[in-house]
């Protein structure tokens, strides 16, 4: 908080950016139930929709085009879990500005004016594709930035957005594990519609981050409310599921992708007429998911080789 205040005071009136200052003070929203009754922690890393004016001004893209990478309103779709006894953390900053479903080392040196001075993951396929922790492109492959960024910009976004978000999520996981003896992290996303895309894709990194019994329970929970499901294709899970799944500590991680055509006007990025009905069905499916006896879901057997 003090750091953010100092930065605000240092800015001149010409460069003031209230939304950026707000994000650096409060990078995420944390909703807790009155009493946590389920060993689940829900995270929405890509539903943030506060776009700093300085970010928009430095981009080739319109505000609407920048939103193409956003998992719009996913925090609202999954937010009903709080009333059913599970916490939810949601990033407030947009994915196009910083992606917390990436490692802090997934940086593209070519995006910056000079050397970053930190170790970067040069082998990351996501960085090569322009989708590192500070993305170079939006979903359609269009370049975001007019000019190269300063290394200080990378350091600040990582320190004041990425770090606090994951510190808070890690604390939630530890609290949950201490309370229930186990924890399940659910990373919540949406996916672009397509002819072959089902309603829900469940990702467990091909068996590396969640037990077969948890995956089957999740499938049955969504199918009971009329959703078609698939496993790991086209999305198997990313940095969050890899980071938090710890079999030896009874922590599992599951990624859930919701087809945007169910609830979203994808052109305008607005809630569709079906939004409330779809959220009601999701509420039922998630309530059933939360009702599982976590002690029947222990990971057993050899560790599968995972691919993202």
Q: Tens digits of per-residue pLDDT, 209-242? A: 999 999 999 999 999 999 999 999 999 999 999 9
Percent with pLDDT over 70 in the chain: 91
DSSP codes joined into one string, 230-253: EESSS----HHHHHH-BGGGTEEE
Provide the domain limits for residue 250: 2-49+71-92+159-296
Please check whether residue 184 lies inside any domain of the structure: yes
Tokens of 97: 């500005």
The answer, yes or no, to whether residue 48 has pLDDT greater than 70, is yes
205 CB-near residues (< 8 Å, 6+ apart): 232, 236, 237, 241, 242, 245, 304, 306, 307, 308
Please check whether residue 276 lies inside any domain of the structure: yes
| Strands of the sheet with 251-259, listed across from one edge | 28-31, 88-91, 40-44, 183-191, 251-259, 200-203, 229-231
The C-alpha atoms of residue 8 and residue 21 are separated, in whole angstroms, by 6
| pLDDT number for residue 298 | 66
Spatial CA neighbour of 3 closest among 155, 111, 171: 155
Q: Tens digits of per-residue pLDDT, 132-150? A: 999 999 977 899 999 999 9
Q: How far is CA 197 from the centre of its chain?
A: 20
The C-alpha atoms of residue 231 and residue 203 are separated, in whole angstroms, by 6
Residue 273 belongs to domain with CATH number: 3.40.630.40
| pLDDT number for residue 197 | 83
169 CB-near residues (< 8 Å, 6+ apart): 41, 43, 89, 185, 240, 244
Please check whether residue 197 lies inside any domain of the structure: yes
Reduced to 3 states (helix: H, G, I; strand: E, B; else coil), residue 183 is strand
The answer, yes or no, to whether residue 1 has pLDDT greater than 50, is no
Which residues are 231's β-sheet partners? 202
- Please, are residues 214 and 184 in contact by the beta-carbon 8 Å criterion? yes
The answer, yes or no, to whether residue 9 has pLDDT greater than 50, is no
What distances in angstroms separate CA 151 from CA 110, 114, 155, one per listed residue? 11, 7, 6
Please check whether residue 99 lies inside any domain of the structure: no
What distances in angstroms separate CA 276 from CA 53, 80, 137, 264, one per listed residue? 31, 12, 31, 11
Q: Tens digits of per-residue pLDDT, 170-192? A: 999 999 999 999 999 999 999 99
| pLDDT number for residue 294 | 78
Worst-scoring range by mean pLDDT, 65-69, 170-174, 293-297? 293-297
**Residue written as token pair 């992708």:** 257
Please check whether residue 113 lies inside any domain of the structure: no
b/e for 98-128, b at 16 or more Cβ within 10 A? bbbbbbbebbbeebbeeebeeebbeebebbe
Please check whether residue 128 lies inside any domain of the structure: no
The C-alpha atoms of residue 187 and residue 85 are separated, in whole angstroms, by 17
Q: Please state whether the predicted TM-score (pTM) of the whole model is above 0.95.
A: no
State the pLDDT confidence band at 119, using cuts at 50, 70 and 90. Answer: confident
| Alpha helices (H) along 181-211 | none
Q: How many domains does the structure of the chain reveal?
A: 1
| pLDDT number for residue 303 | 53
The C-alpha atoms of residue 204 and residue 192 are separated, in whole angstroms, by 20
Please check whether residue 196 lies inside any domain of the structure: yes
Percent with pLDDT over 90 in the chain: 81
Please check whether residue 126 lies inside any domain of the structure: no
Cβ neighbours of 42 (radius 10 Å): 25
What distances in angstroms separate CA 51 from CA 9, 18, 90, one per listed residue? 21, 10, 15
């Amino acid at each position: 908080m003090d750091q953010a205040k100092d930065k605000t005071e240092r800015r001149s009136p010409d460069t003031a950016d209230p939304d950026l200052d707000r994000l650096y003070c409060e990078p995420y929203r944390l909703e807790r139930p009155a009493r946590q009754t389920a060993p689940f922690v829900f995270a929405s890393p890509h539903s943030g929709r506060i776009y700093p004016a300085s970010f928009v001004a430095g981009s080739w893209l319109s505000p609407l085009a920048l939103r193409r990478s956003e998992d719009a309103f996913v925090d609202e779709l999954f937010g009903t879990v709080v009333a059913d006894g599970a916490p939810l953390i949601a990033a407030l900053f947009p994915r196009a500005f910083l992606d917390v479903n990436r490692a802090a080392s997934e940086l593209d040196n070519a995006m910056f004016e000079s050397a970053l001075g930190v170790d970067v993951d040069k082998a990351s396929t996501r960085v090569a594709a322009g989708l590192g922790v500070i993305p170079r492109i939006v979903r359609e492959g269009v370049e975001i930035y007019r000019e190269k960024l300063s290394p200080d910009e990378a350091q600040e976004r990582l320190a004041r957005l990425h770090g606090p978000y994951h510190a808070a999520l890690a604390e939630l996981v530890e609290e949950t594990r201490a309370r229930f003896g186990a924890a399940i992290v659910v990373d919540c996303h949406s996916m672009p519609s397509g002819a072959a895309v089902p309603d829900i894709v469940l990702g467990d990194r091909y068996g590396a981050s969640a037990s077969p019994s948890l995956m089957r329970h999740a499938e049955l929970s969504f199918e009971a409310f009329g959703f078609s499901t698939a496993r790991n294709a086209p999305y198997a899970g990313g940095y969050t599921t890899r980071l938090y799944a710890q079999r030896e500590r009874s922590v599992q991680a599951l990624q859930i992708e919701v087809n945007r055509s169910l609830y979203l006007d994808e052109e305008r990025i607005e809630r569709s007429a079906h939004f409330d009905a779809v959220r009601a069905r999701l509420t039922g499916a998630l309530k059933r998911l939360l009702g599982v006896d976590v002690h029947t879901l222990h990971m057993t057997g050899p560790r599968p080789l995972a691919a993202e």
